[in-house]
Amino acid sequence: MRGSKVNSLAKEQKVNTNTKTYRRAGASPKYKQRSITISWIFLSFIMLWLLMPLLWSLLSTFKTPIEIYRIPVRILPEQFSLHNYVRVLTHPRFPRYFLNSTFLTVVTTTLTLLISIWPAYAFARMKFRFQHILLLFILVPRLIPRISVVIPLYRIIVGLGMLNTYAALILTYTVTSLPLAVWILSGVFESIPREIEESAFIDGANLLQIILRIMLPIASPGVVAVIIFTVRETWNEFPFVLSFTNSSAMRTLPYQLYMLRDTLGTEDWPLINTYAIITVVPILILYFIFAKKVNTGIVKGAIK
């Protein structure tokens, strides 16, 4: 009898202890499960709200202009057709616009990466006065709307005789991409233990060898993040190419997408959406391939 009473008291004490533990934790398992379910429902609603315009644009690429303006509007096309994609890809000037965007993106990304490495390493490893203030002020240009600097940059470019040239676009693209690149790489470099560099110095390596052969391979997530962000900004850039070029041969894909609305008369939304989808696809592919490294690079760049 005494043993059974002791066992029952022990069970009651264990139940009371578990109840207190759940209360201290803030919720019971049933409440936690309910919270997770509500969170998933909320996130699903948000994702649906965000993806619906993209889905509508994608489905409209298979429609005709008549279907877009028809009432009531149907989400699915009456008959799936690749006619709009054929029109875009077989346009006589499309290869030129695609090559312009590709050339500007590759050159700008290369220059941004090569230039940003050195100030980022200096901020991460060297100690000097007003270091953190200077690093903060590097990001100030990112806070200024790009359209607000078009006029002063235009006057500078005209004064240098660089209007309607690739050099003008590459210069402005690179300068506007450098602040974020320096910020990300400085945080990634700072997260690398100094002992690795000290060991390399002892083995006889110089500063250039340490940065190129040791620091950059270790900081590859940050490097990939810089590349992806620079590619995205350069590929999608519009105000500078609109302001600093006036020749059809210098147009990029976003510029030509803007011109479609002026040259078609009645808005051909299936064609416009097709052009937009083709323009965005390369960036999406790059991001999905390197998404993990990009996220890692952003986290390491933010932790200082």
For the chain, domain boundaries: 2-60, 85-302
> What is the 8-class DSSP label of residue 70?
-
Dihedral angle at the C-alpha atoms of 244, 246, 250, 256, nearest 10 degrees?
100
Q: State the Cα–Cα distance between residues 82 and 219, nearest whole angstrom.
A: 43
Q: Which two tokens stand for residue 67?
A: 């279907």
Q: Is the pTM of this model over 0.85?
A: no
pLDDT of residue 294: 64
| Angle made by CA atoms 281, 256, 149, in degrees to the nearest 5 | 95
pLDDT computed for residue 36 by the predictor: 85
- State how far the Cα of 85 lies from the Cα of 273, in Å rounded to an integer: 10
Answer yes or no: are the C-beta atoms of 116 and 230 closer than 8 Å.
no
pLDDT per residue, tens digit, the chain (304 aa), is 444 544 554 445 544 555 544 444 455 677 778 888 888 999 898 988 888 888 888 888 998 888 887 777 777 888 888 999 999 999 889 999 999 999 999 999 999 999 999 999 988 888 878 877 887 788 777 778 888 889 999 999 999 999 999 999 999 999 999 998 998 898 888 888 888 888 888 888 888 888 888 888 888 888 888 998 899 999 999 999 999 998 888 999 999 888 886 655 667 888 889 999 999 888 888 888 877 766 665 555 555 5
The whole-number pLDDT of residue 300 equals 55
Which pLDDT value is given to residue 9?
Answer: 45
Amino acid, single-letter form, for residue 154: Y
**CB-based contact 181:109 (threshold 8 Å):** no
User: Would you state the CATH architecture of domain 85-302?
Assistant: Orthogonal Bundle (1.10)
Residue type, 110: T
Output the pLDDT for position 157.
Answer: 93
| Sign of the CA dihedral with 151 first, then 153, 157, and 163 last | negative
